[in-house]
Structures are given as structure tokens and as C-alpha cells.
Structure 1
Amino acid sequence: MTGFLGQGILANWGGVTEVAETDYNAWHSLEHMPERMSVPGFLRGRRCIAVEGTPAHRRYFMMYETRTLETLESSPYLARLNDPTPWTQRILSEYIAPSRTICRVLGSAGRGVGGWIATFEFGEDKRDTATAFANGDWIDKIMHLDGILAAHALEGDPTTGQQPTKEKIFRESRDKDITVAVALLVEGMDRASVEAAIVALKNHLGALASDCITLYQTQHVLSDVDAHE
């Protein structure tokens, strides 16, 4: 089963001030994702919104799939990061608690993009144990659950992609960027299926399951093919 389209992932969690939320969604769909898809090696982007009751600093999950990890430090991409549009500058200045990590794909299986996605985040203190789990057979087990369409394991790199770009300056105007060490993602066709997968995966994780777990609904997906039509 095909999972992610490439081997590099830019994973983002965070929030935006309430006054800027409508503007943020328009910007991300109409300017930001199309702009990113114009960078060579960017293959697919998406934005997801958290379910009710989620803390404001985890309201959105944004992700970009790239052909290789090196795409995320390429000259064309860095050129974009150092030339933010006025709209980008305005929106990034409204970010809350940005979490931005360049990740390598440890494992991925799927049947396209699900309408719902759960994210499991692990910090540096659990890197070794979470990486060992991520490299295990959990994807095969989760993919056999009803309604599950995809599952992925990511390992974050805390040193890659931390250049002091102009975008970073605006993004950190309220809170400094943070990174994750490991992330597990589960996608499904409906909320109930993904909620059941969360319970199952928490049981597999045991004590590891104490880190941040968030349920999102997919809002927009854009591929490089879509952006160039």
C-alpha cells in the first residue's frame, strides 16, 4: 500500500490568534500551499483543524510531503523562506506556539488521504523508546482496523531547518519554534474509526502514550499537480 509520496515531511502544529483565524485559513489555502507546491520537490500539502475542546496552541496541524529530506533545505525553498509576502508576514505574526519539525519517514502505509487524522507527538526525552516503537509492527496492526486508511511514523530532526530565515523571525514574534522527536499519524474515513484507533494505539504504546495526542479533521489537501493546473 502506498503511503506518503516522498521521504521528507515538514510537520507543523500550532494555533493562530482568534482575530486572524479566517484570514489564516484563506492565506493557507489560497497563497501558502500553492506557493509551497511551486518549490521543486514539494509533492503534497494539507491543513487540518482540531476537534472541539482542543487547546488553542494545537488547533491546526499542517504538513508537507517532499521528495527527499534535502528538499526542505534546498536553495529554492530557502529562497521562499527569506522572501515572505506581506500576507505571509501578517499571518505568521499571529501564530501561537508554533511547532515546526523537519522529519524523515520511518514507515508509511496507506490508501490516499483520510478525512480525519490523529497525531501522537513525543519529545526528546522519549526519542529512543518512541523510535524503537515507531520502527516496530504497529502500522500493520493499525491498518487492519475498520475505517483506517493510512498510518505513518516520523522521526524529527531538531537541527535541520533551523536557519534564521525571515519567515522564522515573523513566526517567532509571539512564541519560539519547538520541535518533536517522533510523531505517529493515523488517518481514517470518519471520526469514530480514528477515535477507535487512538484507543488501540494507546494500548500498544502503554506508558509511552502520555505525550500529546490530538484528533483533527482534514480541511484542505493540495498536490503539486493541483497547483500547476
Structure 2
Amino acid sequence: MQAASEVDYNAWHSLEHMPERLSVPGFRRGRRCQAVDGTPASLRYFMMYEADEPQIFVSAPYLARLNDPTPWTRRILSVYIAPSRTVCEVLASTGRGTGGWLATVQFGRDAAASPDEDWLVSRMHEAAEAPGILGAHVLRGSASLGQQPTAEKVFRESGGEPDRTVALALLIDGLDRDCTQEALTAVLTALPDAQRNSAVATLYRTQHVLSDADALSGAA
């Protein structure tokens, strides 16, 4: 992504997309993170929205937004590469708030290449106890929820790549880069070779966090 395009993307996500999403009833918080240098372009950004329950992502107000994208949204989504979008439920969570750094470990839908859920929850608790770690969370992704055809999905997949979904994910929030990387490395080291080789592990710096209250005050 060229520098000018990246500036446009960040402005769109912070000024239009997150406030728009957080205006939908049931949405609580949005976050955008940028990967460290050397990360593949397809993993450059990590965006996450938190809602009261997974069904919010198929609610009528949300679908209305997905089927009426703004011109700015259409332009941004049309240049997506390797789009990834999964509605998840929280299996386990510990800690408070968000950190300046985020590590993510994502597993696909090959059961042989994914860890047992209980095992991953145990690693979550171990990671949360490491120095400098603020919280950790295990998510289970749905292969179908939120994948219905919408206008936004058409633009997002216009480059020829369908939305990728994840089966399981571990998120680790840290105070700084070093402690977050150490926690991530510890999890990867504990994985069997086949699971470690198939996992998508990425280290991100948090760029912007917006709550529903923030979005409401900004619109007032």
C-alpha cells in the first residue's frame, strides 16, 4: 500500500468506519492495529469490533449499513487484498482494557492444525501472567455467521480473494513491544510443529481505539 493510500485508509477507518459501526445498537468498541515492519502486506492491519453478542453482526441495523456503503467505503474496500472477516464468540478472557501492543495467533479450519480449545485457554492464562501483559483472550470463529452476501462484501472481494475466516484465535494485549513479543513467542514455542507452522502469528501496534460512548460524543 502506498503512503498516500495508507493515509486515506487510516483516515477512513478512524473518521468514518469506526464511528459508523459504533452507531449500530449493540456495538461497544472498535480497534485498529498496524503490524510491525516486515509483516506481509496481507496482514498489515488488524481491526476488531466488540459487540454485546454475535447476533449483532446479523442484526437489521447492521445489515442496513453493510448494504449501503458510502463512496469512501466503496473506494477503500475495492483495494483490499486477502480480506479476512470472522464473527467470533469469546471463549475465555482475562485482564482489563487494551494495550499499546497486540499479539494475535490465528488458526484455520483444519482440525489437525488447530490446538484443543482448553489447551489454548491454558496458554491464555499463562500469557496473562507474564510481566507487562495486560490481558489475553481466546475467540472461537464462525464459518458462516456474518458471511451473508452484502454490498460491502462485493466490494471487499472484488480483488478476487474471498473473505478468510478463522476457527480459533488468541489475542494478547501488552504494554510494550518486547513483553508482547515474548508472550507471543512463548505460546508459539509450546505449540506442536504442525500447529505452529500453520498458525498465523502477528505483532501489532495499537493505532486507535473507539468506544460507543466516544462515537456518540463525537456526533453530538
Question: What band does the TM-score fall into relative to the shorter chain?
Answer: over 0.9
Q: Deviations over 1:77-110 (max 9, x none)?
A: 0000001011101110111110100111111111
Structure 2: runs of 5+ lacking an equivalent: none
Matched, 1:177 2:174: no
C-alpha displacement at 1:17, in angstroms? 6.2
C-alpha separation between the residues in 1 aligned to 2:119 and 2:78? Answer: 34
Change (3 A) 1:147 1:78: same
Instruction: Quote the residue 1:89 is aligned against.
Output: 74
Aligned residue number for residue 105 of structure 1 = 90
User: For the residues of structure 1 that align with 2:3 and 2:162, how far apart are their CA atoms?
Assistant: 19
State the Cα deviation string for residues 29-64 of structure 1 (Å, max 9, x = none). Answer: 000000000000000000000000001000000000
Which amino acid is the alignment partner of residue 57 of structure 1? S
TM-score by length of 1: 0.89
Aligned to 1:189: 175
- SS of the residue corresponding to residue 53 of structure 1 reads coil
Length, aligned pairs only = 214
Matching residue of 1:29: 14
State the alpha-carbon separation in 2 of the partners of residues 134 and 31 from structure 1. Answer: 39
Q: CA RMSD in A?
A: 1.6
Aligned mate of 1:226, from 210, 214, 219: 214
User: Equivalent residues in 2 for 1:157-172 (5 A)?
Assistant: 157-172=142-157
C-alpha deviation, 1:191, in angstroms:
0.1
Query: Is residue 215 of structure 1 aligned with residue 203 of structure 2?
Result: yes
Cα pair 2:74 2:155 within 8 Å, conserved: yes
* CA apart distance, 1:18: 5.7
| 1:154 to 2:139 alignment | yes
CA distance in 2, matches of 1:172, 1:47: 20
| 1:195 aligned counterpart, secondary structure | helix
Change (3 A) 1:184 1:134: farther
Aligned residue in 1 for 2:48: 63
SS in 1 for 2:62: helix
User: 1:228 is paired with a residue of what secondary structure?
Assistant: helix
Q: CA deviation at 1:155?
A: 0.7
Greater share of strand residues, 1 or 2?
1
- Return the TM-score normalized by structure 2: 0.92
Map of 1:7 onto structure 2: none
Shift of 1:204: 2.5
Q: Summarize the Cα distance change of 1:153–1:136 in structure 2 as closer, same or farther, 3 Å threshold.
A: closer
Residue identity opposite 2:190 in structure 1 = H
Paired residue type of 1:202: L
**Aligned-residue identity in percent:** 57
